[in-house]
Amino acid sequence: MISNSTKETSQIARDFIENLNQDDNLVLLQGELGAGKTTFSQAVLEYLKAEGPFTSPTFVVMKDYLVNFKNKKGASFKKVFHIDCYRINENSLEDLCWEDIIADKRNLILLEWPEKIEKALPEKYVKIIFNVLGENRREVEINW
């Protein structure tokens, strides 16, 4: 998909959330700095009616938000974890209670910079790749 604005990226995020299955609770967000990962995450959080503000977790590594959301496919999420792995590695995940977070299918996990913790990723996830095509133009590739 091609997005020409943050408004279009927000619509892609809403459509994505409505099509998630319960087992698709780990979402990897991959792309260079400024590619749209955080913009996408903010749109997801806004759509799920989480309480903001929604800022990048770059320096705090992880933020969590309470939600009460059920999509049209029946997937239900109670909590969203927005994790930025740019400054960490697999060894740091234990401090975040990673295994507990990914085990609970009621948690939706939005994970930026997944390549930094590749060895700790489970087999099942959805990967979204963001490519910069221009100042406001992005390619958003969703791999189910």
Q: How many domains is the chain built from?
A: 1
3-state helix/strand/coil string of 6-66: HHHHHHHHHHHHHCCCCCCCEEEEECCCCCCHHHHHHHHHHHCCCCCCCCCCCCCCEEEEE
- What is the value of pTM for the model shown? 0.92
Q: What is the pLDDT of residue 102?
A: 94
**For tokens 């740091």, what's the residue?**
92
Q: What is the pLDDT of residue 59?
A: 65
Distance, CA of 3 to CA of 142 (rounded, Å): 13
pLDDT tens-place string over residues 2-40: 999 999 999 999 999 999 999 999 999 999 998 999 999
Q: Are 140 and 35 in contact (CB under 8 A)?
A: no
Q: Say which CATH number the domain at 15 has.
A: 3.40.50.300
Helix, strand or coil, per DSSP, at residue 144 = coil
Give the domain range for residue 32.
Answer: 2-143
**In the predicted structure, residue 95 carries a pLDDT above the cut 90:** no
